[in-house]
């Protein structure tokens, strides 16, 4: 298993979904992320990080609300926003970096 740092340092864009199991909007986001993965396949990696189980990572990226999505490319944050996004909007954010 690669470490979080190795994964986000990859040349493949990595979309990290910071979520919580008790969060309604996070549950709405889950199937949307599945659709994005199906459509983009190997163009993107999608990681889900439960903020309650990984408080150190959530704190490091100053996650204040969930869901928060952060797109990494070669270890750099190239996009970050909180909330629920439609599939097409997410794909539009990811495509320029893939």
CATH number for the domain spanning 70: value is 3.40.30.10
Mark whether 17 is an active-site residue: no
Asked if 18 is an active-site residue, the reply is no
How do beta strands 68-73 and 76-82 pair? Answer: antiparallel
User: How far from chain centre, in Å, is Cα 29?
Assistant: 10
pLDDT tier for residue 2 given thresholds of 50, 70 and 90: low
What pLDDT sits at residue 98?
A: 86
Active-site option among 4, 7, 12, 23: 23
pLDDT digits (tens, 9 = 90+) for 9-61: 999 999 999 999 999 999 999 999 999 999 999 999 999 999 999 999 999 99
- Beta bridge partners, 82, equal 68
Q: How far apart are CA 74 and CA 92, in angstroms?
A: 19
Mean pLDDT of 64-75: 97
Of 16, 26, 29, 63, the active-site residue reads: 26
pTM: 0.95
Residue 65 domain boundaries: 4-97
- Which tokens belong to 45? 């990696």
User: Quick check: 80 and 14 in contact, CB under 8 A?
Assistant: no
Grade residue 1 by pLDDT with cuts at 50, 70 and 90: low
Rounded to an integer, the average pLDDT of 86-92 is 97
- Cα separation of 10 and 85, whole Å? 24
């Amino acid at each position: 298993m690669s470490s979080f740092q190795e994964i986000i340092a990859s040349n493949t864009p990595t979309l990290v979904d910071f979520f919580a199991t008790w969060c309604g909007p996070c549950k709405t986001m889950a199937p949307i992320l599945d659709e994005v993965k199906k459509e983009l396949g190997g163009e993107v990696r999608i990681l889900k990080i439960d903020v309650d189980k990984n408080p150190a990572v959530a704190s490091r990226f100053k996650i204040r609300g969930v869901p928060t999505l952060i797109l990494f490319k070669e270890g750099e944050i190239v996009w970050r926003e909180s909330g629920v996004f439609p599939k097409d909007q997410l794909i539009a954010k990811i495509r320029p970096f893939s």
